[in-house]
Amino acid sequence: MKNSNKCPICNGNKEFSTTTFTVDLGTNLIVVRNTPATICSNCGEEWIDDTIAEQLEDIVNEAKAKNRMIEVIDFKLESVA
């Protein structure tokens, strides 16, 4: 049985933290700060939970609908709204 707290890339420790999620759509750039993620403390590889990914998809779709060139969003504030 594999230890889910170990990074499959470098065998470092995976820890809960936050990251900045960025989507470059060519005509739009969407940046979501403070996105919950699991990050390897050794190599920095990041994993985003499926539930968070679904929320990010909604955030990105809303930002695209605004048709702004650059949209910077704080995930924690967006989740509360």
Q: Which pLDDT band, with edges at 50, 70 and 90, does 79 fall under?
A: low
Domain of 74 in residue numbering reads as 20-35+49-80
Kindly report the pTM of this predicted structure. Answer: 0.82
Count Cβ neighbours within 10 Å for each residue of 25-56 and write b for 16 or more, e otherwise. eeebebbbbbbbbbbbeeeeebeeeeebeebb
pLDDT at 66 over 60: yes
Residue 25 lies in a domain: yes
Q: Which pLDDT band, with edges at 50, 70 and 90, does 3 fall under?
A: low
Number of domains in the chain: 1
**What pLDDT sits at residue 4?**
79
Residue 53 lies in a domain: yes
Residue 5 lies in a domain: no
Residue 55 lies in a domain: yes
**What pLDDT sits at residue 30?**
95
In the chain, the percentage of residues whose pLDDT exceeds 70 is: 90
